[in-house]
Chain A
Amino acid sequence: MASVTVSHVNKSFGEFQALDDVSIEFADGGFYALLGPSGSGKTTLLRQIAGFSFPDSGEILIGGEAVESLPVEKRNIGMMFQNYALFPNMSVFDNVAFGLMVRSTPKPEIKARVGEALELVRLSGYDERKPHQLSGGQRQRVALARAIVFRPRVLLLDEPLSALDKALRLGMQVELKRIQREVGITTIFVTHDQEEALTLSDKVGVLKDGKLLQEGPPRELYERPATAFAATFLGDANLFEGDVDDGELALSDGTRLRATAPLTGVGKATCAVRPEKMAIAEEGEPPLADHNLLEAELQEIIFAGNSLSYLLRRNDIHLRVFAQNRATAELQPGQRVRLTWRVADTIPVEA
């Protein structure tokens, strides 16, 4: 196992800058999720780490060793592809054995280790099947077994679960996490599914337009997004724009909101509030000291079984509030309601 260091990596395709001075430290044995919208450079970054393509400038270290000039076959990495990329002409056994075979591992050892790997992904007994005789989830697991059987230093996954349906995906997420923990391999996981990134990883990095916007443990990233983009891309967020006045945020209509810490600086500022942190106050409920209060018009109630979404509007600000489905008060669209949320949940972000 090894840590991976990417430092000041740039990559352009012609005029287009796909990676712009990206520096990330992937901890030894960690599970790092690279999250970003389509075209943000996630695959490009992964391919530089794997060695399929080489950065224009910057350094990549695997286990402290500079690898920029090593081609992929010399880097000892395991990679799992979005479309599985199993060899259709080989059995499951031969697919998994491939990485050992090219390393001239003795036959008995190949047999033992392929057996172990297939057991790890719970596919013992499928050795002789061809890839086309497997279900999508089984193929995925063969691909995973194949990527880790030769004990690579790093495991790279490019949206490995996006081709699966939702139920299977949740199952595979659990499997992936279990296997990663058992093997203890440094894992870099590319996804554009924020929920997947938050559940699986112990560190998340958000990429946008080839730049690393923010990174941190999932919880920290969710609770303290640094930018409006990170706040809206990772989960849902209500954004309030206004002017800084005496450490508070003054909205254009004069309402004043307090944030986690008194706002510094002058001029424009933006604050984000997660929809599930807001609540609709009961009629006649007295305002709490450490809460912000805002009046808004309820426009729509969206029912989704165990939860409800309220869509509200205040002047030109559209708001969303999530609530468990146990609201007692009967609310009607068109009604004016009071929203309250803790000051500590009002996060100042960069616009």
Chain B
Amino acid sequence: MAVSDTKRSPTRRRQPSNAKSILGLTGPAYLWLIVTILLPLAAMFYFSFLSDVPLPGRDWQVTLSNYAAFFQEDFYRTLMLRSLRLGFEVALWCFLIGFPCAYVLAKTIKGRWREALFLMVIIPFWSNALIRVFSWTMVLRGNGILESLLDWLIPGFGSLRLMFTYEAVVIGLVHSYLPYMILTCYISLSTIDDDLIDAARSMGASRLTVLRRIILPLSMPGIVAGAVLIFVPVIGSFMEPRILGGREGTFLGTVIEDQFTSVFNWPLGAALSFILLACVLIIFAIFQPILRRAS
């Protein structure tokens, strides 16, 4: 009885055409993703198991040695930890600087000023990344803009020795990726109803309690999204470390880039890339419960 009922129900009959329209709408996007991302990625995955670049005239066979290299040499593991630390630190600084900025934009400023400030947040996105990094070298280098300014404010200040350090890399990366954090936090902050804040205050909550118990938990999806958006590209970054870090700027990203551009050892570069990807996935898997609760 029940079976024949459901067969005759209109929703049941509409289902096939529904599936067809879903396929029709999403199909082109998936096709595009397969062609542009999955196929090259699959090719790279294949490369990572080869002993040499598969070009005519080269001698190559299938091997696991590229992956083994990572586990045999401490050098790569140290670099991996360094890169992960860089990712965490940049994401943390972006949160510490970006969240208050997003809060002010979303909750305290109204009208035209908000648009103007928003523009100032977005503008770094519009400028060329290389120009952005090189302008930081002008600021950070010895006798550069920052040191001259400090020297002018506090005569005899001396040197900061910031250029070509780990800190310089962090500064450059935070500047590049800050807009992600501000935008994602802004979006989730602006969905928080002002009445919630008023309600909490009417019950006697101090501003700090409101921040800790209401605002931070409710904007967690934005914070997490921003952190993920920053963490992933930062651990693979090579341009900022190379230009601002100098000799201190060796990270997994720069080593991978070397394999592709100067050493011409694509298989090793590909293998390192996939190990990095695996690391990211493992980290996300470990934090999965926290991430799920946040969003």
User: A156 CA to B205 CA in the complex, in Å?
Assistant: 17
User: A118 CA to B6 CA in the complex, in Å?
Assistant: 42
Q: Contacts A87-B214, A89-B217; is A73 near B206 (CB within 8 Å)?
A: yes
Verify B196–A52 contact, CB threshold 8 A: no
Q: Which residues of B sit under 8 angstroms from A50, Cβ to Cβ?
A: 202
Stretch binding the partner chain, chosen from A34-42, A95-103, A107-115:
A95-103
Verify A81–B206 contact, CB threshold 8 A: no
* Nearest-neighbor residue (CB-CB) of A98 within chain B: B203
Q: Which residues of B sit under 8 angstroms from A81, Cβ to Cβ?
A: 195, 198-199
Q: Please count how many residues in chain A sit with their CB below 8 Å of the partner chain's CB atoms.
A: 24
Fill in one digit per residue for B46-57: 1 if any A CB lies within 8 Å of its CB, else 0: 000000000000
Within 8 Å by CB of B205, from A78, A88, A102, lies A102
Q: Which residues of A sit under 8 angstroms from B214, Cβ to Cβ?
A: 87, 89
User: A78 CA to B195 CA in the complex, in Å?
Assistant: 14
Verify A150–B217 contact, CB threshold 8 A: no
Within 8 Å by CB of A102, from B195, B198, B206, lies B206
Among the interface residues A52, A72, A147, A150, which one has the most CB atoms of the partner chain B within 10 A?
A72
B96 to chain A, nearest CB (A): 22
Verify B203–A99 contact, CB threshold 8 A: yes
Q: Contacts A52-B198, A83-B195; is A73 near B205 (CB within 8 Å)?
A: yes
Verify A87–B204 contact, CB threshold 8 A: no
Is B209 close to A, CB under 8 A? yes
Is B161 close to A, CB under 8 A? no
A267 to chain B, nearest CB (A): 49
B100 to chain A, nearest CB (A): 21
Q: Which residues of B sit under 8 angstroms from A71, Cβ to Cβ?
A: 201
Is A146 close to B, CB under 8 A? yes
Q: Contacts A87-B214, A89-B218; is A72 near B201 (CB within 8 Å)?
A: yes
User: A328 CA to B165 CA in the complex, in Å?
Assistant: 100
User: A88 CA to B218 CA in the complex, in Å?
Assistant: 8
Is A85 close to B, CB under 8 A? yes
Is A249 close to B, CB under 8 A? no
Is B200 close to A, CB under 8 A? yes
Is A228 close to B, CB under 8 A? no
Is A79 close to B, CB under 8 A? yes
Q: Contacts A81-B198, A87-B214, A102-B209; is A150 near B203 (CB within 8 Å)?
A: yes
Verify B198–A146 contact, CB threshold 8 A: no
Interface residues on B, range: 10 to 19
User: A99 CA to B195 CA in the complex, in Å?
Assistant: 15
Verify A79–B205 contact, CB threshold 8 A: no
Is A138 close to B, CB under 8 A? no
Is A76 close to B, CB under 8 A? yes
Verify A98–B218 contact, CB threshold 8 A: no
User: A89 CA to B204 CA in the complex, in Å?
Assistant: 19
Verify A85–B195 contact, CB threshold 8 A: yes
B227 to chain A, nearest CB (A): 19
A255 to chain B, nearest CB (A): 54
Q: Which residues of B sit under 8 angstroms from A73, Cβ to Cβ?
A: 201-206
User: A147 CA to B205 CA in the complex, in Å?
Assistant: 13
Q: Contacts A85-B195, A89-B217, A102-B209; is A79 near B202 (CB within 8 Å)?
A: yes
* Nearest-neighbor residue (CB-CB) of A50 within chain B: B202
Q: Which residues of A sit under 8 angstroms from B201, Cβ to Cβ?
A: 52, 71-73
Nearest 10 CB-CB pairings of A with B:
A99-B203, A85-B195, A79-B202, A85-B199, A102-B205, A89-B217, A72-B201, A73-B201, A81-B195, A102-B204
Chosen A-B contacts, 8 in total, with CB atoms closer than 8 Å, are: A52-B198, A52-B201, A52-B202, A79-B202, A87-B196, A87-B214, A89-B214, A102-B206
